């Protein structure tokens, strides 16, 4: 049994609504200046998260724990000051060159509130930044990704400092001429300098599949995700075709959050050492396994493997089939006829989810040992999610 002491996300939405008055009063105390305020409602975030976050993750402050919060692309700092009001140390980062008032707003409000938020000037696109604190429990990247020339680089960089990340960005299902559906293609559309809100700082609008692949390849796992806006025929440029994706990410080397209804998984047999470079990828053998420890409070579960089928395996065999079994029962089977990135998913039976056990994977084709590599090689797994 897990007893929660922190606010649930719906409670945070109410707290954020009340904090709007604090921000409005602070702006009034700053008075008229020769620069504009950030025009968007950052504190409305939690009303959206109420429809996105699930399970233990709805208790966001408990997920953060006693670690600080990193607000990347902070605007005027509304979220930074709100998290500070909840008792967190906060670092607010933005680039004066692209901030709407060159960060005058966040500094002015910090002074009026007598805040201790660390305000850092940094161009994340062009390199690193000196993080005032060694590790952050949560990074905020809200409405930032499409303002970056190098989103892959920045997502990797944030992952060096933060365990979790709340990310939102615009996505598109159609091309601007609305002739091609692209939501299932891992692509992005590069907008022209005046094509989206006449804002030269807008760059990449990802398809849904493109965003999810970017996140995985940059070393993150998506643990909750949801979309708002035009979720049927969005495109990268039209105002009435704006769709936003909100997701909570967990850094790939961070285990699942604790809680009474969590399912845990550990590598069993048939795995080789962790690869170098991005993510946490590993080669498997022909047969490999996962030990699952269930929870009596759960009546169902889900497995997701992100995997790579090497071209040589398909070229020699034509196709490769992966079968998942538990206690002699086949749970899922999928055949891959094309090389590259794939996702293998399966529902876990109630007995396994509640009591735990061994998940057995077996390939019908594999690469035998050779003079070049003495290992028996199957596929490359880059993501394991059991929930």
pLDDT at 255: 61
Tokens of 196: 């989206």
pLDDT at 278: 39
CA-CA distance, 248 to 39, in Å (whole number)? 24
pLDDT at 100: 93
Cα angle at 223 between 218 and 305, to 5 degrees? 70
CA-CA distance, 383 to 304, in Å (whole number)? 8
Instruction: Outline where the chain has alpha helix (H).
Output: 9-30, 45-49, 60-64, 78-85, 104-113, 151-159, 208-217, 311-317, 350-355
pLDDT at 176: 96
What's the predicted TM-score (pTM) here?
Answer: 0.69
309: Cβ–Cβ under 8 A, 6 or more apart, which residues?
Answer: 320, 336, 338, 339, 340, 342, 379
Work out whether the CA dihedral 42, 43, 44, 50 comes out positive or negative: positive
pLDDT at 342: 87
**Calculated CA dihedral for residues 201, 206, 212, 216, nearest 10 degrees:** -50
CA-CA distance, 116 to 113, in Å (whole number)? 9
Tell me the CA distances in angstroms from 132 to 21, 281, 307, one per residue in order: 29, 30, 36
CA-CA distance, 57 to 6, in Å (whole number)? 11
Q: Consecutive sets of 10 residues in the chain, 387 residues long: mean pLDDT of each? A: 68 96 96 93 96 90 92 97 96 94 97 96 82 89 96 92 96 96 95 93 96 93 94 96 97 62 74 58 90 64 85 87 93 92 86 80 93 90 79
> What residue ranges define each of the domains in the chain, with the CATH number in brackets?
9-251 (3.40.50.150), 264-386 (2.60.120)
pLDDT at 313: 87
pLDDT at 166: 98
Query: CB neighbours (10 Å) of residue 138?
Result: 24
pLDDT at 320: 94
């Amino acid at each position: 049994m897990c007893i929660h002491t922190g606010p649930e996300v719906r409670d945070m939405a109410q707290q954020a609504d009340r904090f709007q008055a604090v921000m409005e009063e602070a702006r009034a105390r700053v008075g008229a200046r020769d620069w504009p305020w950030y025009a968007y409602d950052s504190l409305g975030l939690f009303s959206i998260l109420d429809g996105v976050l699930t399970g233990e993750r709805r208790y966001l402050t408990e997920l953060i724990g006693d670690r600080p919060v990193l607000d990347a692309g902070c605007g005027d700092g509304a979220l930074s000051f709100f998290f500070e009001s909840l008792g967190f140390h906060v670092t607010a980062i933005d680039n004066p060159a692209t901030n709407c008032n060159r960060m005058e707003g966040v500094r002015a409000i910090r002074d009026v509130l007598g805040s201790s938020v660390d305000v850092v000037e940094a161009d994340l696109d062009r390199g690193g930044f000196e993080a005032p604190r060694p590790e952050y429990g949560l990074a905020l990247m809200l409405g930032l990704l499409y303002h970056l020339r190098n989103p892959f680089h920045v997502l990797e960089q944030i992952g060096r400092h933060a365990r979790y990340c709340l990310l939102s960005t615009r996505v598109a299902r159609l091309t601007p001429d609305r002739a091609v559906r692209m939501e299932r293609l891992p692509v992005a559309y590069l907008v022209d300098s005046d094509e989206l809100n006449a804002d030269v700082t807008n760059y990449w609008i990802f398809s849904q599949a493109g965003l999810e692949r970017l996140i995985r390849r940059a070393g993150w796992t998506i643990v909750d995700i949801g979309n708002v806006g035009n979720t049927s025929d969005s495109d990268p440029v039209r105002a009435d075709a704006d769709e936003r994706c909100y997701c909570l990410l967990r850094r790939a080397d961070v285990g699942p959050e604790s809680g009474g209804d969590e399912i845990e998984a550990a590598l069993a047999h048939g795995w080789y050492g962790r690869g170098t470079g991005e993510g946490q990828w590993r080669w498997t053998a022909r047969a490999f396994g996962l030990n699952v420890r269930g929870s009596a409070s759960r009546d169902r579960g889900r497995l997701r493997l992100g995997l790579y089928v090497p071209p040589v395996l398909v070229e020699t065999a034509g196709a490769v089939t992966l079968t998942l079994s538990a206690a002699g029962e086949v749970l899922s089977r999928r055949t891959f006829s094309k090389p590259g990135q794939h996702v293998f998913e399966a529902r876990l039976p109630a007995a396994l989810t509640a009591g735990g056990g061994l998940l057995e994977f077996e390939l019908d084709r594999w690469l035998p040992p050779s003079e070049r590599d003495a290992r028996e090689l199957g596929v490359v797994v880059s993501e394991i999610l059991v929930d």
